[in-house]
Amino acid sequence: MLKWLNALPVYYPGDAELYLKYGKIEGGHLLAVFNLAVDVLDSLELVFPQGLPRTVERLTPKGHWEPVPFGSDGVSRVTIAREIATLLPEIFRLN
């Protein structure tokens, strides 16, 4: 229903147990990803119904932003080339 209403700015289409927090910041958006499943994800596929990000960066443990390679289908799906470990949060900045 939420997909049909286009009510979510981003969602994970897979079946792994992920928790996402997404919010607007000056100059873009922040996305926090928490993998609650036992299995590590090799990459992260997300759907952005309201438009694709142009850039993806991750917050390093030292507090710096580093670019993350990603691909898209050109419509709404993005695949972020970053391993998502169990119970280790990943913070992304999307522009």
Q: Is the separation of the CB atoms in 10 and 47 below 8 Å?
A: yes
Please choose, from the candidates 12, 73, 16, 70, the residue with its C-alpha nearest in 3D space to the C-alpha of residue 45: 12
Q: How far is CA 95 from CA 31, 39, 42, 53, 63, in A?
A: 11, 29, 23, 5, 18
All residues at 6 or more sequence positions from 24 whose CB lies less than 8 Å from its CB, including other chains: none
What CATH number has the domain bearing residue 6?
A: 2.60.40.1180
> Domain total for the chain?
1
All residues at 6 or more sequence positions from 38 whose CB lies less than 8 Å from its CB, including other chains: 86
* pTM of the entire predicted model: 0.91
Owning domain of residue 10 = 2-94
* Per-residue pLDDT tens digits for 65-81: 999 999 999 999 999 99
Sheet with 28-35, edge to edge strand ranges = 18-25, 28-35, 90-94, 56-59, 65-67
* Per-residue pLDDT tens digits for 11-69: 999 999 999 999 999 989 999 999 999 999 999 999 999 899 999 999 999 999 999 99
pLDDT for the residue numbered 5: 65
If one compares 56 and 8, the residue with the highest pLDDT of the two is 56
